[in-house]
Amino acid sequence: MSRGVTAAAALARLREGNARFAADTRSLGALLTAERRAALAAAQEPFAIVLGCSDSRVPVEIVFDQGPGDLFVIRVAGNIVAPSLIGSVEFAADRFGTRLVVVLGHSSCGAIAATLEEMRRPSANQSPNLKDIVDRIRPAVTGIGDEHEAMRANILASVQQLRHGSRTIEGLVARDGLVVVGAWYELETGRVRFLEETLAP
C-alpha cells in the first residue's frame, strides 16, 4: 500500500528488491496469487512510480523484484520527459499518494546512442517521431562524447524536468513529501545504481 509509505521507505524497498534480483534470490512475494489479483481488481496503491526506458532488457518490476500493483511504471525510449509522461506521474502521485518517483536509465541505451550518432552525423530524413525523442535528449548530452556520461546527464535532466516542470509535482514535493530521484540499471550485473546527487533534498 502506498498511503503512508514514505519516499525513504519506498526507496529502501526498491534497493532491497534489486539486491535480491541481482543475487538471483527473487522472493515469492512478487508472484500474483488469486487473493492478490482479487484485491487489485478493486484498487491499486503502488508504493513507487518509475519512469524508465522501454528497452526490453530492463523489465522494471522484475529488476526491483516487485509484483503486480507494487509499481506504477511509465516506459518510453530514453526515459524522456514529455507532457503526457508528466501527466502520468502527476496522476499516480496525486491519485494514489505515491511519494517516490524514480527516473531509471540504463547502460548501453539505444536512445542515447542514437542521439549521439545523430549529433555527429545528422540524418536527412529522420522520422519526426524519432526526432522528437532525440530532440528531448539532445540538450542534456550536448558536448558529451562518452555514452555512459551522456546516459547519466539525461537521467539528471529528466529528474530536473519532473521536479520543476509541473506545478502539481512541485506542490507535492514542497508540501507532501514527494521525492524524485535518478538511477540507472547496469545490464551486465543487474544492479540499480542510484545517483547520489539526486538523493539530497
DSSP 164-193: HS-HHHHHHHHHH--EEEEEEE-TTT--EE
CB of 149 closer than 8 Å to CB of 70: no
Place of cell 514529455: 82
| Low-confidence stretches of the chain (pLDDT beneath 70) | 1-3, 29-32, 201
Q: What pLDDT is recorded for position 27?
A: 81
Strand spans (E) along the chain: 48-52, 71-75, 100-106, 179-185, 192-194
SS3 100: strand
Domains and CATH numbers, the chain: 7-108+149-199 (3.40.1050.10)
Beta bridge partners, 74, equal 51
Contact in structure between 181 and 194 (CB atoms under 8 Å): yes
Q: What is the pLDDT of residue 40?
A: 86
Q: Can you give the pLDDT at residue 97?
A: 96
pTM: 0.94
pLDDT at 141: 97
CA distance 31 to 101: 23
Looking at residue 1, its pLDDT comes to 42
Kindly report the number of other CB atoms within 10 A of residue 38's CB atom.
Answer: 9
Helix (H) or strand (E) holding 59: none
When computed from its CA atoms, the radius of gyration of the chain, rounded to whole angstroms, is 17
